[in-house]
Structure 1
Amino acid sequence: MRVESSGGLPLPELERQQAGAKRRRRRARAAAAAAAPRTMAAPATAVQRLFEACREVFTGAGPGAVPPPAGVERIKSVLDSITAADVRLTSSMPYFRRVDPYGTPKITYLHLYKCEAFSIGIFCLPSRGVIPLHNHPGMTVFSKLLFGAMHIKSYDWAASQQDTPDVQLQAGPRLAKVKVDGILTAPHETAVLYPEDGGNMHCFTAQNACAVLDVLGPPYDDGSGRHCQYYNVRSSAISVAGSTILPGGDRYEWLEESEPSRDFYLVGSTYMGPKILDH
């Protein structure tokens, strides 16, 4: 007995036609999918890569703990690759203009990220802008000059270098070893400051418009004793107990804790570059 479909075709023939139609539709969809452009995940931005490197290196580290050499190199490598364009900064922005040609210009800080383990931010200095001599207690600091030229002078406490054992630490001026005293011009590799070495105390003087990307691990925290202290150079004398201290030709100066200069103006502003995704 021949059974026909309601359309008049035998069922086997109708099933063959339907199966053929399904195959043709599958082939058409496959061809369309192959021809369509593939949607790729957007590559991570430079600041996102920096954040992820800092999170992996600093998270879990105790106060004053120096990251392992591999961790330091990872963060430094990411910073070395970052440019002003990556954070959407140019020297023509208002942050870098001198409003008063005779007064001391204000410094602008752009906050990118901060947690208990580390912070990321950018200091914007107009020409002749100064960040006075200050310290970074128990902190490892990465500084990348994005553009411009600046004079940098940095120190480490002499006692921490174990090259002046006869110097007794006491209240008042302390002897410090000059680590760097010169002009840095971008592009330049990232500088690394350690809790006891590398120029933990430093001051910046902009020779022209400058931007400095800083990573602090851990960040300043008054409650944990990591508060920013400022210093004045009392004297460049290098005589202790009547004898001159010049091991290896190194320079020493006396530093005394002080209040920041009254003409030091540091203001915050909104960072307008690519955002950091904390997920």
Structure 2
Amino acid sequence: MPGDGAMTSIVQRIARQALVTFRSPPRLAEEPGKAFLESHAKLSGLMTEVRAADLKLVPRRADERPPRHGGPPVTYMHICETDQFSMGVFLLKSGASIPLHDHPGMHGMLKVLYGKVRISCFDRLERPAGSAQAAAAQAGALRRYALRSTGEYTEESGPCVLSPDRDNLHQIDAVDGPTAFMDILAPPYDPDDGRDCHYYRVLPDSEVSIPDQKDQKEKEVWLMEISQPPDFWCGGEPYPGPEVCL
């Protein structure tokens, strides 16, 4: 067991709470129980408090070289991982994006540490029958989604939260300079257990037949699964912050 000194780190407290929260998460399509919701709210509260200085991160300068001049547009600092969750920090250069991607059967929580990100979240809808798009969807080429939200987050914002069936697909764009965010995924990606990361692109309305959406609260779109975009790749950096003991 770690000593009291390790427990004083907010990063350590977040990791401990994530372990408790995701030890027995609700199953897919199952309503979360009171204990999970309370534990999840506590984790969200801790994530709201964390700042770049707590992880000994120094914000990158806005005049750094853009991604096209070499080096990965995104890097990752690994903090810790268990069977229940993974935790780390993503750092995006100016103008960089993490393309639209999914988190199969996973919960997640993202907290900006410096800079600003724009996050667009999508949810999968039921497939309609009796159309060419439906036939293609059943073949796995196209999927129908709703754009649930698009919002901007800074270090003063609360965390962006996703679940297996809510806001599960998202795209993350750096806005007005470099940015970094702390990220928790539960359980971690594991291709051998059906949790591989898939990438998508939004099809323009001109390529598909979209019903009249004037009376709909959420915009419906067709997404096509694609290979990892060639202009996106993720490098690694050492994590400089407090050690996490689990």
- TM-score, with structure 1 as normaliser: 0.74
Residue type at the aligned position of 2:154 = T
* Unaligned runs of at least 5 residues, structure 1: 1-39
Q: CA deviation at 1:97?
A: 3.7
Structure 2 vs 1, CA of residues 61 and 101 (structure 1 numbering), >3 Å: closer, same or farther? closer
Q: CA deviation at 1:101?
A: 6.2
Q: For residue 145 of structure 1, what is the aligned residue in structure 2?
A: 112
| Equivalent in 47, 55, 74 of residue 107 of structure 1 | 74
d(CA) in 1 for partners of 2:37, 2:129: 28
Cα pair 1:134 1:230 within 8 Å, conserved: yes
User: What are the Cα deviations for residues 217-259 of structure 1, in whole angstroms up to 9, with x where unaligned?
Assistant: 111011110000000111246975x742455332111101001
| Equivalent in 59, 74, 81 of residue 91 of structure 1 | 59
Q: Does 1:235 align with 2:204?
A: yes
Q: For residue 72 of structure 1, what is the aligned residue in structure 2?
A: 40
Q: Does 1:191 align with 2:155?
A: no
| Equivalent in 158, 177, 191 of residue 146 of structure 2 | 177
| Equivalent in 21, 42, 63 of residue 57 of structure 1 | 21
* Unaligned runs of at least 5 residues, structure 2: none
Q: In angstroms, what is the RMSD of aligned CA positions?
A: 2.9
Structure 2 vs 1, CA of residues 239 and 245 (structure 1 numbering), >3 Å: closer, same or farther? farther
Q: CA deviation at 1:187?
A: 1.4
Q: For residue 158 of structure 1, what is the aligned residue in structure 2?
A: 125
Residue type at the aligned position of 1:56 = V
Residue type at the aligned position of 1:57 = T
- Count matched residues: 233
- TM-score, with structure 2 as normaliser: 0.83
- Runs of 4 or more consecutive aligned structure 1 residues displaced over 4 Å after TM superposition: 62-67, 99-105, 164-169, 237-240
Structure 2 vs 1, CA of residues 100 and 48 (structure 1 numbering), >3 Å: closer, same or farther? closer
